[in-house]
Structure 1
């Protein structure tokens, strides 16, 4: 399965499950007041620790890779999306349903495109107890008939919920499919997706999708504000041990700690990998005859470099595969951001793109030299996650030498972070004054000096910028920059715009690659 097929099928399955477009009310459905019951485990408890998981990963990496492939029974792999979404873990069997630990755990069935079984363990007192599931662990909807016999049911992932008022348990995170996971902050809906690890993304020889094959979920303390889970990641070139600490709220954060054990030399990995969708917005609008103003989960890549410079690169839906790399050393942060937050930016009642989260990666410790990579894949539909961003270390990972990293992944509504300078509120592209010229209109908002102190610095790597203009925007209280690009037969041009006070930046740096 290649990248496009994998992302298409996975996103379609997510939509069928209600992960992407379900309204908040659907996520917060009341749970019936019935006694809870856990499924009977099929194995005995065993000692567990993060150190022990890393030891096991190290031993596995020393052995040859044995790919189990699609190990879910055929009867479940053959399910349609509609049938799969009709298999739901019973609300009265929610893990920790009757415990005052502040969280609920909901296992998810395997089937359809989720064709690899995942083992899930509950950890309490240093002991890991496997979750077992059978036919009676699930509710079976109208589109699918439950098996007549009480068959064992494979699992594919898990949802985490936070108890609320009126017996509601809104979910805030999902781990399911390959190394994918996603989260949301209070009041938002699911949007872009994170990955435990990206390998060889957009390389000609093909991308590798590692898989979380096990999850260990620690039972929280009473009235806990955070929950911790662990993952074992497997693939041909590498085995990994992960620890995730999740804190839901108005901003949901996930602390990620990982140790990788390469079986072979790895020259292209992606840390803090994020996947999103951009069909059109202020850029690319003319290609789509659609009643909606914009369709995207994220409208730009934000970077805070190790030197403190802030970059903003609007996302695009290119005609051909496009890869951009922003070289850096010890980056302070990067993320895929949804800045357009008004309903009128989209006019989409069904998908509410204005309620999708921003995801911001903050490295813990020094990540050394490397680059933030942005991959933009041509797309003709909103079901495709066609944008990928991640940190690519410059140094190769030698075979047999373990590698550790940590970062905080923040899911939030604020698209301006970090907001110590002015930021780009909107980017528009259209026809310029001449036939092959292109015009840009960029609005900056945020904390910036008075007009007399602000200067425009705009450059193009090829072609010529025509009539670059800076003026106050009385509607937003910020500044508007406009210019035309005369490409002069250049196949592409790297554009750069920044506002300064003559000595230092007063805004983030706007970047864009125009392609003929």
Structure 2
């Protein structure tokens, strides 16, 4: 509402002009005069001054971090100084693995449910991270490096005592009693640039989140903003949530972040961020997720590996503003692929590991069946934009080759400030909120029949998509589900849907016929009568994917 909306006046149009008329005051009678005189003789009512708003230590810290981020954005970027001795900066992987944090030296040990352990600087982590502890009573204290917090074994033994006290740390991890009160499990890790990981009970680390992504998959190269400082609010003895703040810095952006970590069956992180543009940003990636996909049931690239599938995530899920659920199966393409799903104020998106069946992976070491997904829910207005998915070719499971994030439609210009608040949640398998039939399997093969004469080109594919829902078990074979398929290019034939023996799965299958090397964007869903009863399977295929 306009600030002028509370002002009342009488406007009368006269010919071509407009006049403002002030109401005429009526004469005051004698009784009214006496009432006003009596009121004037009464002592004046003194209004109490409105007390100033007293901010908590948490609020003061967030104000401080925000001011630091704003101030930094107004200055040229300064490369962080590295003050590590060469022996630490150049240590090898085996040496770094031989340095362990001493759990007996954990921050808040025996004082709270939460404990914080620290990562040693060096190896890949040469840029210092400053960590401060904020206590309501004693104020803010810098954490200095203490050699006795670490255990140096084997090849790392000669490195003991070489770290300066003001060197900072590589990062930290948070422990909390997830499964039993007798042991504190690792629930969150902040290590490297702005990366962080979360897990719940029975989950193991795989997918990562980030504070921000800049120019991902752009020809100019990606920029990796980093958290340079952390303020950890000291938890109370029975606190079940941990609050901390971080300062983000990079060549193009700065930012102030508030994190609220809530461990549980699915661990939750509430994120509030205020970001400033130091320079014009070509592509701003909000709430980025990073994962790995080497091979899966839908892949045509084959690896000499006994394991049927190797991946941390098997698909991108999106809940659109209109309520539609979209599932885009992941792939390990031959070349870099960037695709997107446009929307305005989406309800959520994430990279998930829906298939949690051990037999799909047959891996007793990496345990890919126990990797969680991560789901992003916007908590303030993000406006128009797109969820972008980047798939990078890789020949090794050690490389994270999948990235997803939100890209606002409006460019982020130098001098601007924006706020992005959201919730990150770990997910076992599929989302409980997803009540429609889900895509459970996707297969892709040459469309030729065994022994077929004049077999089609290898680019003609037999596509199989299985939709499963417990409610399907009540449908008889006489009930017909209707598949709806659309392609951005190319053609299809022999589209049909059949019920599988488990009764709760219906298989949609069709032959895909590309017309050229252009990528084909496919959308497929099922209806019963006129009602959609499945999520939308979305997949991008190109004939150059064929081996």
Same fold (TM over 0.5): yes
Q: Does 1:505 align with 2:532?
A: yes
Q: Quick check: 2:248–2:257 contact (8 Å CA) kept in 1?
A: yes
Q: Does 1:313 align with 2:313?
A: no
Q: Quick check: 1:103–1:160 contact (8 Å CA) kept in 2?
A: yes
Gaps of 5+ in 1: 1-44
What CA distance in whole angstroms lies between the structure 2 residues aligned with 1:491 and 1:144?
53
TM-score (norm 1): 0.88
**Pairwise CA RMSD:** 1.9
Aligned to 1:472: 499
Q: Does 1:55 align with 2:67?
A: yes
- Cα deviation, 1:307-347, whole Å, max 9, x if unaligned, reads 11111000000000000011110000000010110100100
TM-score (norm 2): 0.83
1:89 Cα deviation after fit: 1.7
What CA distance in whole angstroms lies between the structure 2 residues aligned with 1:494 and 1:432?
19
Aligned positions of 1:100-179 closer than 5 A:
101-125=112-136, 127-147=139-159, 149=161, 151-152=163-164, 154-163=168-177, 165=180, 167-179=182-194
- Cα deviation, 1:391-427, whole Å, max 9, x if unaligned, reads 0000012222211110000012132443221110111
- Cα deviation, 1:99-155, whole Å, max 9, x if unaligned, reads 0x2100001111111111101111110722111123222101223114464743531
What CA distance in whole angstroms lies between the structure 2 residues aligned with 1:490 and 1:80?
44
Give the alignment partner of residue 375 of structure 1, picking from 390, 403, 420. 390
Aligned to 1:438: 461
1:286 Cα deviation after fit: 4.8
Give the alignment partner of residue 251 of structure 1, picking from 262, 266, 272. 266
- Cα deviation, 1:243-288, whole Å, max 9, x if unaligned, reads 1101112100000100011112223111110000000101225521
- Cα deviation, 1:331-380, whole Å, max 9, x if unaligned, reads 00000010110100100111110000010000012210000000000000
Q: Quick check: 1:278–1:386 contact (8 Å CA) kept in 2?
A: yes
1:229 Cα deviation after fit: 1.2
Give the alignment partner of residue 395 of structure 1, picking from 404, 410, 416. 410
Structure of larger gyration radius = 2
What CA distance in whole angstroms lies between the structure 1 residues aligned with 2:214 and 2:119?
26
- Cα deviation, 1:432-452, whole Å, max 9, x if unaligned, reads 123321111111112556362
Q: Does 1:74 align with 2:86?
A: yes
Aligned to 1:217: 232
Q: Does 1:97 align with 2:119?
A: no
Q: Which deviates more, 255-264 or 499-508?
A: 499-508
Structure 1 residues 419 and 46: CA distance shift in structure 2, 3 A: closer
Q: Quick check: 2:87–2:159 contact (8 Å CA) kept in 1?
A: no
What CA distance in whole angstroms lies between the structure 1 residues aligned with 2:180 and 2:539?
46
Q: Quick check: 1:361–1:408 contact (8 Å CA) kept in 2?
A: yes
- Give the number of equivalent residue pairs: 471
Q: Which deviates more, 347-356 or 480-489?
A: 480-489
Aligned positions of 1:301-450 closer than 5 A:
301-433=316-448, 434-436=456-458, 437-446=460-469, 450=475
What CA distance in whole angstroms lies between the structure 2 residues aligned with 1:169 and 1:315?
34
Structure 1 residues 281 and 290: CA distance shift in structure 2, 3 A: same
Q: Does 1:457 align with 2:484?
A: yes
Counterpart secondary structure, 1:267: coil
Structure 1 residues 317 and 228: CA distance shift in structure 2, 3 A: same
Q: Does 1:65 align with 2:73?
A: no
Q: Quick check: 1:250–1:412 contact (8 Å CA) kept in 2?
A: no
What CA distance in whole angstroms lies between the structure 1 residues aligned with 2:235 and 2:388?
36
Q: Does 1:229 align with 2:244?
A: yes
Gaps of 5+ in 2: 1-56, 449-455
Aligned to 1:34: none
Structure 1 residues 202 and 142: CA distance shift in structure 2, 3 A: same
What CA distance in whole angstroms lies between the structure 2 residues aligned with 1:80 and 1:97?
31
1:166 Cα deviation after fit: 7.1
What CA distance in whole angstroms lies between the structure 2 residues aligned with 1:214 and 1:476?
55
